[in-house]
Structure 1
Amino acid sequence: MSALEALGPGVWVWPGAVNSVVAEDGQGGALLIDTGLDESHARKLLRAVEAAGLTPSAILNTHSHADHHGGNTFVLRRFPALPVFAPPLEAAIINHPLLEPMMLFGASPPPPLRTKFLLAPASPAQGVGPGPQTLGGVALELLPVPGHASEMYAVRLGEVLYAADALFGAQALDKHPLTFCADSAAQKASAASLHELEGVVTVLPGHGAPTADLPALVGANLAAYERTTAAVLATVQEAAGSVDDLLVRVSLRLGVHTGTPAAVVLNRTVVSAHLTELLAQGQLTCGVEDHRLVFRAGP
């Protein structure tokens, strides 16, 4: 893909494994929202931005996952004075990206968990609060949608909503039945909150194609998240187990193929998040058995 695609007046997308949004400031500048996984993505993004006659004015990262800010350093090498914005907690991780694999692993991560998929290069992000903002000369609204990440923003640009990873396209949901989240209850609440938005003509998920049907996209995501919760609950009801025991059985139940160390720690986090939600609902208990934290069905 070599050209930007229009989403709405002055708002464009460079589609990829992660979508990058380009918002014009009306004076030849452009805010870049999420720069992709790596230099390859960022180089193509800049090429498309420059072909459109635009110059980057700032970067906004919706959250700190490596596939959304890994391209920052390449952009900043070309435009070193660009400010970088992110939700405050996520900005700390973008500045100190080792925190991401460290949180997933629970200690200093081994080399297989230090790849670009979990550990992006550091970039100097500054925290920005929610609500109406002007970033890089672009007026927008930052909507808090925590759950997939501890903090995350969806971005409202007039009639365009960039949902970031609060919503996923159908193909992404099918490919990843264990849709990543740090807090599954918050993930569901955030997705549901977007259903209430009025005046949205086009919605773009972080992964997937744009659509005009926001309610359908929200519904598909909520259904997928609930399926995961139901699968975790049914697995515990069959037999108690530790997180790692349950991860194996939930993965088999959902047909998940786990081929890399990164996938193991990501999927383990998803199962843990849904276990926490079920504990809060009183459907599970947990305790220590044989030096393991074991989850059981029942109050």
Structure 2
Amino acid sequence: MSLIALAPGILYLPGAVNSVVVVARGADALLIDTGLDDSHARKLLRAVADAGLTPCGILNTHSHADHHGGNAFILKRFPELKIFAPPLEDALITHPILEPLTLFGARPPRELQNKFLLAPRSPARLAPEPGLCRIGGADIELIEVAGHASLMYAVRVGEVLYAADALFGPEALAKHPLTFCADSGLQKQSAAKLLELEGVKTVLPGHGEPTDDLAGLVAINLAAYERTTAAVLGAVGGGEASIDELLARVCGALGVTMTNVGAVVLNRAVVSAHLTELLETGRVQMKVSGNKLIFSAQA
């Protein structure tokens, strides 16, 4: 598989997760997001080599395993590479057990210690603050787009925007109606904020194909995020319930069938995020009853 040009000096490797390659000085190349595992990383390195380029650094936009799981494989080939990530996200990449631990709330059982939630460890350092910067010799602009993760960076190079997981392609949204987020309110704000960018001619989501319609992509993402909020609110309207009871109601409303432990803890986190947003906007109330945390519609 070959790299595909988005514009002069910026290319990407399509996959379940897109990897972006920014050409720096000479034949140096900054790798942005390395995929889920060794298989994706191997394809990325082969494509970079076929393009006559050599990795000069890695930037992970956030700490989810599918965006940094290839780091360890790449470091075996290029041990001198430095890895950069946003604040908080750098800690999770360096100590990846924090992801399943946080989702489960305790030491995660074996079923949650898989490559989808527990990537190999790689030593990440703090990326520069948002704005114009240089990483690995590549000149880029970092844009803060928190919400999907505790903190996340989109990356702009000239007229090209790599939105990371602030925006998803339409197929990804249809496949995963409960789009993951740590903060649903911030997720919506970050997506809407990208509309303020001027001069963007090509936008690449973390999952999906490039498009020249930034406004259209933002619109379908915001609609999907609001649909989840509405589904959670509707579930609460069905009567007092715990988070797990609400999760079952939301899955029923959105046609989601969960078949493994990972799906349950991820989707439970999504429902929790939207419940927090609804609590903060006064549409839902929370109490402890019968030794359970119970949510109900605001009277």
Range into which the TM-score falls when normalised by the shorter chain: over 0.9
Partner amino acid for 2:88? L
Matched, 1:182 2:172: no
- In the alignment of these two chains, the number of paired residues is 298
2 CA distance for matches of 1:70 and 1:127?
Answer: 18
Give the equivalent residue in structure 2 for 1:66: 65
Give the equivalent residue in structure 2 for 1:43: 42
Partner amino acid for 1:162? Y
Give the equivalent residue in structure 1 for 2:95: 96
Matched, 1:79 2:81: no
2 CA distance for matches of 1:13 and 1:284?
Answer: 43
Give the equivalent residue in structure 2 for 1:120: 119
Partner amino acid for 1:114? Q
Question: How far off its partner does 1:240 sit?
Answer: 1.4
Give the equivalent residue in structure 2 for 1:21: 20
Partner amino acid for 1:261? V
3-state SS of paired residue (2:222):
helix
Deviations 1:146-182 (A, max 9, x none): 0000000000111100000000000000000000000
Give the equivalent residue in structure 2 for 1:138: 138
1 CA distance for matches of 2:14 and 2:57?
Answer: 19
2 CA distance for matches of 1:298 and 1:287?
Answer: 12
Q: How does 1:1-299 map to 2 (within 5 A)?
A: 2-128=1-127, 129-299=129-299
Partner amino acid for 1:258? M
Partner amino acid for 2:14? P
2 CA distance for matches of 1:291 and 1:214?
Answer: 47
3-state SS of paired residue (2:237):
helix
Deviations 1:195-252 (A, max 9, x none): 1110101000000000000000000000000000001001101111010000011001
Question: How far off its partner does 1:188 sit?
Answer: 0.1
Amino-acid identity (%): 65
2 CA distance for matches of 1:236 and 1:170?
Answer: 27
TM-score normalised over the length of structure 1:
0.99
Partner amino acid for 1:37? L
Partner amino acid for 2:7? G
Question: How far off its partner does 1:26 sit?
Answer: 3.5
Question: How far off its partner does 1:260 sit?
Answer: 1.2
Deviations 1:72-96 (A, max 9, x none): 0000000000010000210000000
TM-score normalised over the length of structure 2:
0.99
Q: Structure 1: give runs of 5+ residues left out of the alignment.
A: none
1 CA distance for matches of 2:295 and 2:146?
Answer: 25
Question: How far off its partner does 1:192 sit?
Answer: 0.2
Give me the CA root mean square deviation. Answer: 0.6
2 CA distance for matches of 1:260 and 1:24?
Answer: 40
3-state SS of paired residue (1:200):
coil
2 CA distance for matches of 1:165 and 1:131?
Answer: 18
2 CA distance for matches of 1:216 and 1:279?
Answer: 30
Deviations 1:10-46 (A, max 9, x none): 0001000000000000310000000000000000000
3-state SS of paired residue (1:259):
coil
1 CA distance for matches of 2:22 and 2:221?
Answer: 26
3-state SS of paired residue (1:88):
coil
Q: Which runs of 4+ in 1 moved over 2 A?
A: none
1 CA distance for matches of 2:259 and 2:238?
Answer: 25
1 CA distance for matches of 2:160 and 2:100?
Answer: 33
1 CA distance for matches of 2:259 and 2:199?
Answer: 42
2 CA distance for matches of 1:286 and 1:35?
Answer: 40
2 CA distance for matches of 1:238 and 1:103?
Answer: 29
Partner amino acid for 2:233? L
1 CA distance for matches of 2:61 and 2:41?
Answer: 16
